[in-house]
Amino acid sequence: MSEPQSPVRVERSGRVLVMTLARPQARNAVNGAVARDLEAAIDLLEGDDELWAGVLTGDGPVFCAGADLKVVANGGLGELVTERGGFAGLVRRERTKPVIAALNGDALAGGMEIAIACDLVLAARGVRLGIPEAARSLLAVGGALANLPRLIGEKAALELAMTAVPWPAERFVQLGLLSGVVPPEALREQALRLAESICANAPLAVRASRAAILAGRDLPEDARWELADRLLADLARTEDFKEGPASFLEKRPPRWTGR
Catalytic pick among 11, 39, 113, 239: 113
The per-residue DSSP string of 231-243 comes to HHHHHTTSHHHHH
Residue 45 is which amino acid? L
Confirm whether 113 is a catalytic residue.
yes
Catalytic pick among 3, 83, 133, 185: 133
Instruction: Work out whether strand 81-82 and strand 86-87 pair parallel, antiparallel, or are unpaired.
Output: antiparallel
Report d(CA 27, CA 177) in Å as an integer: 23
Which residues are CB-contacts of 14 (< 8 A; sequence separation ≥ 6)? 196, 199
Report d(CA 124, CA 141) in Å as an integer: 26
The per-residue DSSP string of 157-207 comes to HHHHHHH---EEHHHHHHTTS-SEEE-GGGHHHHHHHHHHHHHTS-HHHHH
Q: What DSSP state is assigned to residue 3?
A: P
Which residues are CB-contacts of 202 (< 8 A; sequence separation ≥ 6)? 240, 241, 243, 244, 254, 256
Q: What DSSP state is assigned to residue 26?
A: G
Report d(CA 56, CA 11) in Å as an integer: 11
Q: Report the candidate in 115, 86, 117 with the shortest Cα–Cα distance to residue 101.
A: 115
Catalytic annotation, residues? 113, 133
